[in-house]
Structure 1
């Protein structure tokens, strides 16, 4: 089956994952429908409900703070009968041995009522009113799937609330509570160390990996790897770092992908912004040595008028998570496609291990960038990419040797420069103005890239559009030959793989209409993602290093600061031309 087990850490990650699971649920087909190209067994597990019926639930473990699950119950309708019987039996067994004969008083918290949307799902009726940022209070307010009781783990109280960060109304801190209530007093900013301490305390008491993850791992027939979605710029970064370390100790050869989410920090006071970047820097250094691939993600600066309409609300977790989930779900699509036979162009996928080898050229390039284009067919994506290159003054040769040798390697697949770039932009708060000091921009250098193009019915996505002679070669093979890949690696040439899937990204009634040229009648849209390792990663890592070690030395202790700076410099060095450099500032030129 090649199962993938997902780990969700933190509030923002659960908002993103809720959209991810809703999309997976939409791929199920019933009756006489054509089978989906998605292999559901990779992300879903079969089980038995309380009434003996078969269940199909996500292979995921979800961590959130107290109150973060909203109205979502740990024991849902599929298992509540069994749970009630167990509780009744336990009460009957406990009664005779009770040592307390006095009066008991039961105190219950005020329950959180489910949203109108989830109530309509429970009754099987169409939603009476559409979801809006004001009505989405928690990620469970738009979740369409059931979770196994073992999947939902509540850890600790709510330490992340501040006067500028809403939690009960689904906002990310850019606006106040929709209810108009006074904001609570802002506590201190919780840091990477707080998350590390929380994990260590819980792990000593329960052994989190054994209690929470192992049941899902042991029922997997042939596990493909782990997918971790985590906040990395707050206390969850420390929690995730220690969790990754435990996972790597137990499963040394299994692929682990970390989707490293970062909240917009541009509007925060400088001290808090630097603290968040310090949290992120420590998490990236730890994840670099533990994860197979790390993809830092942040919502790009607004506005993106060509892609996102004016109704897009950057202060709404529901909206920003939908944008991130579109990219994550599309970029990982090859890892869950059915194997429809050798050479089935556009229909067969590859494992996380293969994609890691594709992107990680030397074993040290474990940090990648993710870009996305929506609503545009592949022909338009290529045309726009060519125009952006010409506008920047780059020749095709600036991107390295992208042609020749392999059927899936073309110049047009090199460094697509798609309009939505999720690479975080706020590392350079200290180094701002570099371009304005007369330094010419460095030529792009791409090492490895995985491109996924998904089409909607009628888009004529057959891989040929009549204006590129390489297109016929691009679809001639379903996978890049591994021997050829190694030859190109030794020659320091880039490697690119494109997957063409006839399955648009689903726009469900739980998904906000945040994309141009869509309406309530649009059921799916074409999406293209480019997940790549390139030299731009080094520039951002060096900027982050300067910010947290030179521009704000108070953010990290002296001993840790030196070690952190050296580790970040080593990470950046892996992305220089030739994959080795003695320079410490990332300014080597061709």
Structure 2
């Protein structure tokens, strides 16, 4: 079945993944609806509930700190019944932890915290009635407030404590710190941010207490018939970056040949104070260096700089994690769509996509771009206009004869731009150069598109075999693959109203994504290296600074091998 197991590490990843799972749930068809083009067995697992009934739940492990799950219960209604008959045959995942044998024979004392009340939206889902009021930024307090699916009890893993609230200098002198603070010494500021090293320590503590892979991940992997790969969604610029680094290291040791993708999330930092901004970039640099050595593909993602008036509605709130995670989830869910399609052809798995993008075996960092609410013809037209505005020569652009899918540039670019401020003049020079693309996977989805929309395309979705792919590599030609999917991105009632040209009655929208490895990755890695090891050397300890600088330089150099051309002489020496 080519299963994919998902790991969700941290609160930001859970906001994104909740939109992802809600979309997967919407693809199920019932009765006379016909067969869905999505193979549900790839991301979902069949099991048996506590009462013996059949269940169908996501193949995922969800990590969050205490209190981060909101009203979501570890043991949901599918498992919160009487203990099942021991004579039945079950897998390790079919029995919830609550029915496991205890080594303690004495009486149990249960202490319960005040429960978090579910949102009105969640209550409506539980009661089977339509929500009375639509969700908004004030009613979404946790990612569970818009969650539409059940999870297996073993999927929910609570780790660590919430960040401590630190007193302000004003409060220490008997003053007040404003909103949310009390009087006198009780005044508080924002919670203390955990460091990258705190994440490492948290993983080490959990792993010492009980082997974290054996307890949490292995049961999901071992029940898979033919594992396609693992996808990890994690924020990399905070403590979860340290946690993810150690987790990836253990995964690679345990599953040496498995394909592992990391969606490396980053909070926008351009408006943060300089010290905090540099600290977060240093966390990101550490995470990317470790992920580069362990993951098959790393895709750094951040919410693009605003405004995007041609794409986003005026109702988009960049301060709402519910909104920003919806934007990221649209791109992630679309870019991975080929890996879970029911139709079988070359290129609909994670391993093929990795080979497509990784030209030399060292290019494991990729860019992701997206266009929404645009049919394919408009996407192509706008891409050509952007090339002309940039002054790029069509003859040198991409590889297809009509340039429709060769190194496609889309309006929403999720590659973080915050490092470029340190080397803005260099970035401006590089922007004027023609792009160097190594590999690209384009997904064009639209439930309303017609076959004639692609009638003039010469780059069809045939799929290159690995021999043809290598021949193009040796000829120093980019490799591009496009997937046409007759399935729009669903706009559910759990999804915020953020896109232009949509209304509350819009069921789905066209989305195009382009996942690519190109020269721009090298430029951003070099900028990040300059920022955290030269421009603000205090952010990295002396003992780690040189190693981190060399590692980032090596990652950047991987995007130069064999790609020197006449018009670009001297580019690598700048």
- Please report the TM-score for the alignment, with normalisation by the length of structure 2: 0.90
> Match for residue 384 of structure 2?
386
Residue 578 of structure 1 aligns to a residue whose secondary structure is: coil
Matches within 5 A, 1:490-509: 490-509=474-493
- Pair 1:443-2:447 in alignment: no
Offset, 1:442: 2.6
The equivalent residue for 1:399 is 397
CA offset digits 1:172-197 (Å, max 9, x no partner) = xxxx88xxxx9843454322111011
Q: Which moved more, 1:329-338 or 1:200-209?
A: 200-209
Q: State the alpha-carbon separation in 2 of the partners of residues 88 and 108 from structure 1.
A: 16
Take 2:482 and 2:2, find their aligned partners in 1: how far apart are those partners? 21
Residue pair 2:10, 2:64 contacting (<8 A) in 1 also: yes
Distance in structure 2 (CA, Å) of the matches to 1:355 and 1:150: 30
SS of equivalent to 1:588: helix
**Alpha-carbon contact 1:71-1:111 (below 8 Å) kept:** yes
Q: CA RMSD in A?
A: 2.7
Contact 2:444 2:511 survives alignment (8 Å): yes
- TM-superposed CA distance for 1:544, in Å, is 0.1
- Contact 2:347 2:353 (C-alpha < 8 Å) held by counterparts: no
1:424 equivalent in structure 2: 416
What is residue 464 of structure 2 aligned with on the other side? 480
> Deviation of residue 50 (structure 1)?
2.0
Asked if residue 411 in structure 1 is aligned to residue 409 in structure 2, the reply is: no
Select which of 542, 551, 555 maps to 1:567: 551
Deviation at 1:509, TM superposition (A): 0.4
Residues 256-277 of structure 1, C-alpha deviation per residue, up to 9 Å, x if partnerless? Answer: 0000000011121100000000
Deviations 1:551-577 (A, max 9, x none): 111101112010000000000001126
User: Gaps (5+ residues) in structure 2?
Assistant: 86-95, 169-178, 181-185
Q: Distance in 2 between matches of 1:391 and 1:34?
A: 45
Distance 1:448 1:112, change over 3 A: same
Q: Which residue of 1 aligns with 2:183?
A: none
State the aligned residue count. Answer: 546
- Change in Cα spacing, 1:220 to 1:435, as seen in structure 2 (3 Å) is closer
Structure 1: distance between partners of 2:193 and 2:519: 33
Say which SS state the counterpart of residue 72 (structure 2) adopts: coil
Give the stretch that moved more between structures: 76-85 or 523-532: 76-85
For 1:97-136, what aligned pairs fall within 5 Å after superposition? 98=106, 107-136=111-140
CA distance in 2 between partners of 1:485 and 1:432 (Å): 36
Q: How does 1:181-220 map to 2 (within 5 A)?
A: 184-186=188-190, 188-220=192-224
Asked if the contact 1:71/1:114 (under 8 Å) is kept, the reply is: yes
Q: Does structure 2 conserve the Cα–Cα contact (< 8 Å) formed by 1:160 and 1:190?
A: no
- 4+ runs deviating over 3 angstroms: 82-94, 104-107, 160-164, 186-189, 432-436
SS at match of 1:260: strand
2:73 alignment counterpart = 73
In 2, distance between residues paired with 1:571 and 1:565?
Answer: 10
Shift of 1:441: 2.8
C-alpha displacement of 1:82: 3.7
Provide closer, same or farther for how the CA distance between residues 359 and 349 of structure 1 changes in structure 2, counting only shifts above 3 A. Answer: closer
C-alpha separation in 1, matches of 2:229 and 2:75: 27
Deviates more, 1:154-163 or 1:223-232: 154-163
Distance 2:563 2:97 in 1: 60
Aligned: 1:13 with 2:13: yes
> Which of 316, 328, 333 is equivalent to 1:312?
316
Query: What is the CA-CA distance between 1:107 and the residue it aligns to?
Result: 4.1
Query: What does 1:81-96 align with in structure 2 at a 5 Å threshold?
Result: 81-82=81-82
Contact 1:75 1:83 in 2 (8 A): no
Q: Flag structure 1 segments of 5+ consecutive residues without an equivalent.
A: 165-175, 343-347, 405-409
* 1:377/1:563 CA distance change after superposition, 3 Å: same
**Aligned equivalent of 2:297, options 293, 297, 304:** 293
Counterpart CA distance in 1 for 2:523 and 2:144 is 38
Under a length normalisation based on structure 1, what TM-score does the superposition of the two structures give?
Answer: 0.88
Change (3 A) 1:239 1:439: closer
Given candidates 444, 448, 472, the residue that maps to 1:453 is 444
What whole-Å deviation, never above 9, does each CA across 1:402-457 have from its counterpart, x for those lacking one?
Answer: 037xxxxx622122210100000111342234456x77733211110000000123
2:444 counterpart SS class = strand
Summarize deviations over 1:385-406 as a string: whole Å, max 9, x none: 0011011111123325x037xx
Shift of the 439–337 alpha-carbon distance from structure 1 to 2, 3 Å rule, reads closer
